[in-house]
C-alpha cells in the first residue's frame, strides 16, 4: 500500500471548485484492449449561474491548467472555452506490448505524485503462463485535499462560494481493465469484449475508495481469452471443427479414389 502526497491536483481542484458554482470532474484510468495504460481528467464547468464578470477568470484558469499538464506533464489537452459549458480534457497514454507491462505503466501513472488524483494506491499483479491475476485498490479524499490548501485564508465570501461549490460538485472515477473473469469489485462493473468498466461516484464531501480484482486467461498464442469455460468450449468447437474437416477431406479422398477406380475398370473392359 502506498500513500501519496497530492501537489499538482491541489491547484486544479481549488481553482476550479473555487471559481465555479457547478463543477463536474470525470477521472478515467485503466488499460485498454491494446495494452495502453491511460489516465484522463475531464473538467466541465456550468457557468450559467456564474456572474459574467468571472467568465474570463474561469477561461484563463482552464487554459493555464491545460497548458501546464500538456507542457510539463506530457498530457494531451483539449480545451473548449468558446461556448458553455466550458470543458477541459487532459489525457496521458503509455503504450505497452503485454498486460504485465501495461499494469506496471498504470501503476506508474497512479502512484506518480505529480499527476495522480489518489492519496492511496495499492496494486498487485501475478503472472503465470496461461493466466494473470491483479488487484487495484485506491482512494482519494477531496475534503482532506482542500484542508491541506490555503482555503482558510480566503475571505468569508469566497469561502462561502467554495463550500457551495463543494456541495454541488459532481464527478466520477472510471476504471477500465482487461478481464476474463471478474473476481470482486466494490462497485458494479460492466463487462463487454473482455473489458470491465467500473464507474465510482466521486464524493466532494467524503472519502472515495474502490477496489477491483480480476483475472485474464490467455490462449495458446498468448492473446487474452474469455473465461475458463469459454476457452474450453472454444477448444471443443475447434476440435469438432477439425474432426469434421478431417471427415470431409477423407470423404473427398475416398470419392476421388472411387472415381479413379471406376475409370480404370472402364478402360480395362474396353
Q: What residue ranges do the domains of the chain occupy?
A: 2-225, 227-270
If you ran DSSP here, which 8-state letter would residue 33 be given? T
Q: Is the pLDDT of residue 106 over 90?
A: yes
Whether this model's pTM surpasses 0.85: no
**Which helix H or strand E contains 153, and what residues bound it?**
none
Average pLDDT over the chain, rounded to whole? 80
User: Is the pLDDT assigned to residue 33 strictly greater than 60?
Assistant: yes
Q: Is residue 214 helix, strand or coil?
A: strand
Beta bridge partners of 93: 38
pLDDT reported for residue 270 = 59
Of 1 and 123, the one with more pLDDT: 123
End-to-end Cα distance, the chain: 91
Residue 3's pLDDT band (boundaries 50, 70, 90)?
low
pLDDT in tens, 178-195: 999 999 999 999 999 889
Whether residue 137 contacts residue 210, with contact meaning beta carbons closer than 8 Å, is answered with yes
**What are 2's three cell numbers?**
502506498
Segment 124-139 shows an average pLDDT of 91
Query: String of b and e for 229-264 (b: at least 16 CB within 10 Å)?
Result: eebeeeeeeeeeeeeeeeeeeeeeeeeeeeeeeeee
Phi, psi dihedrals of residue 258, rounded to the nearest 5°:
-65, -40
The pLDDT confidence band at residue 9, using thresholds 50, 70 and 90, is very low
Is the confidence at residue 269, as pLDDT, over 70?
A: no
Beta pairing class for 23-31 and 170-178? parallel
Whether the pLDDT of residue 7 is over 70: the answer is no
| Helices 55-73 + 9-19 axis angle, to 10 | 170
- In 3D space, the residue among 157, 206, 168, 133 whose CA is nearest the CA of residue 44 turns out to be 168
Return the H-helix or E-strand segment holding 209. strand 207-218
What are 164-178's pLDDT values in tens digits?
A: 767 777 899 999 999
Q: Which residue has the cell 505503466?
A: 105
The x, y and z cell numbers of residue 201, run together, are 461516484
Amino acid at each position: 500500500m502506498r500513500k501519496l502526497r497530492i501537489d499538482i491536483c491541489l491547484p486544479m481542484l481549488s481553482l476550479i471548485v473555487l471559481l465555479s458554482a457547478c463543477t463536474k470532474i470525470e477521472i478515467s484510468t485503466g488499460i485498454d484492449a491494446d495494452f495502453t495504460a491511460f489516465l484522463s481528467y475531464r473538467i466541465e464547468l456550468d457557468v450559467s449561474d456564474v456572474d459574467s464578470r468571472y467568465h474570463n477568470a474561469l477561461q484563463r484558469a482552464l487554459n493555464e491548467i491545460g497548458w501546464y499538464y500538456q507542457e510539463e506533464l506530457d498530457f494531451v489537452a483539449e480545451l473548449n472555452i468558446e461556448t458553455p459549458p466550458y470543458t477541459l480534457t487532459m489525457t496521458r497514454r503509455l503504450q505497452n506490448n503485454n498486460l504485465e507491462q501495461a499494469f506496471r505503466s498504470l501503476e506508474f501513472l497512479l502512484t506518480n505524485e505529480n499527476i495522480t488524483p489518489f492519496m492511496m494506491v495499492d496494486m498487485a499483479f501475478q503472472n503465470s503462463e496461461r493466466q494473470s491475476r491483479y488487484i487495484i485498490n485506491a482512494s482519494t479524499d477531496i475534503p482532506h485535499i482542500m484542508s491541506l490548501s490555503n482555503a482558510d485564508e480566503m475571505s468569508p465570501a469566497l469561502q462561502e462560494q467554495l463550500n457551495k461549490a463543494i456541495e454541488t460538485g459532481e464527478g466520477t472515477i472510471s476504471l477500465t481493465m482487461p478481464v476474463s473473469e471478474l473476481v470482486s469489485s466494490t462497485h458494479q462493473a460492466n463487462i463487454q469484449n473482455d473489458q470491465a468498466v467500473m464507474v465510482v461516484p466521486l464524493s466532494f464531501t467524503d472519502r472515495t475508495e474502490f477496489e477491483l480484482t480480476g483475472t485474464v486467461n490467455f490462449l495458446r498464442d498468448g492473446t487474452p481469452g474469455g473465461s475458463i469455460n469459454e476457452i474450453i468450449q472454444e477448444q471443443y468447437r475447434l476440435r469438432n471443427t477439425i474432426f469434421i474437416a478431417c471427415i470431409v477431406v477423407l470423404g473427398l479422398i475416398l470419392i476421388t479414389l472411387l472415381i479413379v477406380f471406376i475409370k480404370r475398370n472402364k478402360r480395362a473392359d474396353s
